[in-house]
Copies of this chain bind each other. A is one copy, B any other.
Amino acid sequence: MPNNRSFEEEKLEKMSRRDEILDAAGELFSRRGFHATSMRDLARAVNLQGGSLYAHIDSKEELLFELVNRAADEFLYNAEAIPAHISPKERLERLIRGHLEVIVRELDYATVFFHEWKFLNPELQSRIKARRDDYETHFRKTIEAGVKEGQFQVEDVRLATLFVLSALNWTYHWYRPHGKLTLESLSKHYCTLVFKTLGAC
């Protein structure tokens, strides 16, 4: 069935082309910002004519949402993969490792997630907001459980959660993927600091 095969091939090519466009958008949005990137810049980055880009995507906004949403997928995937039976301290260690892993390995996506999401329209923003809240809840519930089980000593769980997530989030501002600091070393140091922050014993 040569016709069917070529249809499949065409679909696969379109999909990989779309991933390529997404990666280019991630790089441009994270470096220059969403508003300073034009469709023309994007087309140039993937060697397409401006017009042909519209065969693959509808708008710049659609790309922004997909980038932010994929980053949310990654963060949540890591958090949801953590087994429920391990201790709060071990859970938090995996949450920290997973969080830093997404930032370090997907720095462009993470930057767009943290830095450009406010340029989504209100409806899309509220969809992402709900996923962010879900994600934050993993951290808060883990810290709460740790306090309940006597592993953490914390005065105000909400503020402590904010403090810890803030320290982790900011990593995208300064982390250099080709620098000396590996994900392993960063995670180890940051786990130690977070545990001290939470008075872990």
Indicate the size class of the contact surface on chain A.
20 to 34
A36 interface contact, C-beta 8 A: yes
A33 → B minimal CB distance (Å): 6
Interface pair A170/B166, CB less than 8 Å apart: yes
Interface pair A193/B33, CB less than 8 Å apart: no
Q: Which of A103-117 contact B (CB under 8 A)?
A: 115
* Complex contacts, A190 vs chain B, CB 8 Å: 159, 163
Contact of A197 among B171, B173, B196 (CB under 8 A): B196
Complex copy number for this chain: 2
* Complex contacts, A197 vs chain B, CB 8 Å: 193, 196-197
* Complex contacts, A192 vs chain B, CB 8 Å: 155
**Beta-carbon contacts of A48-61 to B below 8 Å, as 1s and 0s?**
00000000000000
A36 → B minimal CB distance (Å): 4
Interface pair B36/A189, CB less than 8 Å apart: no
Interface pair A171/B160, CB less than 8 Å apart: no
A162 interface contact, C-beta 8 A: yes
A178 interface contact, C-beta 8 A: no
* Complex contacts, A160 vs chain B, CB 8 Å: 193
Interface pair A159/B115, CB less than 8 Å apart: no
A169 interface contact, C-beta 8 A: yes
Interface pair A36/B119, CB less than 8 Å apart: yes
Q: Which of A1-47 contact B (CB under 8 A)?
A: 33-36
Q: How far is the CA of A171 from the CA of B186 in the complex (A)?
A: 22
Interface pair B119/A163, CB less than 8 Å apart: no
* Complex contacts, A164 vs chain B, CB 8 Å: 167
A187 → B minimal CB distance (Å): 11
Q: Which of A175-191 contact B (CB under 8 A)?
A: 186, 189-190
| 11 A–B pairs (Cβ distance < 8 Å), ordered by A | A33-B33, A33-B35, A33-B118, A33-B119, A155-B192, A159-B193, A163-B167, A163-B190, A166-B166, A166-B173, A193-B197
